[in-house]
Amino acid sequence: MRDADEKGAPHPPSSDFGEARAAALLIDMQNVVTEKPEALDGAGKRVIIRTIGMKKVYRKKDQVTQALRGVDVEIYTGEFISVMGPSGSGKSTFFNMIGALDSPSEGRVFIDEVDVAQLTAEELAFLRCRKIGYIFQSYNLIQYMTALENVTTPMAFGGVPDDEARKRGMEILGQVGLRDRWFHRPIEMSGGQQQRVAIARSLANQPAILLCDEPTANLDHHTGQEILDILQKLNKERGVTIICATHDHRMMNVCDRLMWIRDGSIERIARRDEVHVELAGID
């Protein structure tokens, strides 16, 4: 497998990471997301994710943790929403539920009006592979695969031929500034580099929904900003719905709505302009 990859290797490391690459990535997306983002405040808002009374209880022997205590939320197509909340408030749990990675203890999750609980194993796999991109808080890279293989694995599952997958994988790695690191294993990379591989992997199949659990947590200010630029462009120009857990205050500048979770419940959901008014008021 390594031998085959080497053919795609000798690209020079690119230094101009940012605008240009974000634009390149968006061109890739053209085939997939055909619909333009809609106005959020108009009457034509379409719900892409809806939860009804969603609860999650973790049970371990006699120890019971209420991670989510009944969450009702609607997320609209093409929206960029930031999820904020203190550590342990249930953000990751919320992500797992709306990403069809775990089943709620109670309540229901609809992704584009389809009840996730009704899907077969194959349909769930399709959904996770093509329609949703995940960036995990703990990256969850496959340890025995190179950066490139990590990125191309979802493409393989999606039926993309090897050669094309490698080509696209290299492009996406280039966009996160890791083109010259494609042959490294996760263990040979820094935390930030691993995080960028995880981001690249989430974009592999040009998903319609992107779930990002602290995508900028381990990145320096500059790189973090570039990741935010990529996310914003994906959202604005291609209408990818982005749900982003974060403690990063810069996120406020790019998101449409903000959502606060505390103790497993939604404390507040507000539009960015409302929040800005408040912040201005405080200032």
DSSP 127: I
Q: How far is the CB of 144 from another protein (least distance, A)?
A: 3
Q: 241-245 and 80-84 as β-strands: parallel, antiparallel, unpaired?
A: parallel
In this chain, which of 67, 155, 210, 255 binds ligand ATP, going by CB under 6 A? Answer: 67
Tokens of 103: 């089943």
Count of Cβ atoms closer than 10 Å to residue 207 Cβ: 25
Considering only residues 85 through 104, tell me which ones interact with another protein, judged by CB under 8 A.
96, 99, 101-103
Buried b (16+ CB within 10 A) or exposed e, 47-76: ebbbbbebbbeeeeeeeeeebbbbbebebb
Considering only residues 112 through 141, tell me which ones interact with Mg ion, judged by CB under 5 A.
137
Q: Which stretch binds ligand ATP (CB under 6 A): 58-66, 118-126, 184-192, 222-230?
A: 58-66
Cα distance between residue 229 and residue 236, in whole Å: 10
Q: Is 140 in the site for ligand ATP (CB under 6 A)?
A: no
Considering only residues 157 through 216, tell me which ones interact with ligand ATP, judged by CB under 6 A.
none
* Residue with smaller CB distance to another protein, 77 or 246: 77
In this chain, which of 89, 153, 194, 241 binds ligand ATP, going by CB under 6 A? Answer: 89
The item of ligand ATP, Mg ion, another protein, none sharing an interface with residue 260, based on CB under 5 to 8 Å by kind, is: none
Cα distance between residue 233 and residue 24, in whole Å: 11
Binding mask 118-137 for ligand ATP (x = CB under 6 A): -------------------x
Q: How far is the CB of 204 from ligand ATP (least distance, A)?
A: 24
Cα distance between residue 40 and residue 45, in whole Å: 6
In this chain, which of 85, 177, 186, 239 binds ligand ATP, going by CB under 6 A? Answer: 85
Scan for tokens 């090897």, then name that residue. Answer: 162
Cα distance between residue 3 and residue 20, in whole Å: 30
In this chain, which of 74, 112, 237, 263 binds another protein, going by CB under 8 A? Answer: 112
Q: Is 154 in the site for ligand ATP (CB under 6 A)?
A: no
Q: 47-60 and 63-76 as β-strands: parallel, antiparallel, unpaired?
A: antiparallel
For Mg ion, the binding residues (CB under 5 A) are 91-92, 137
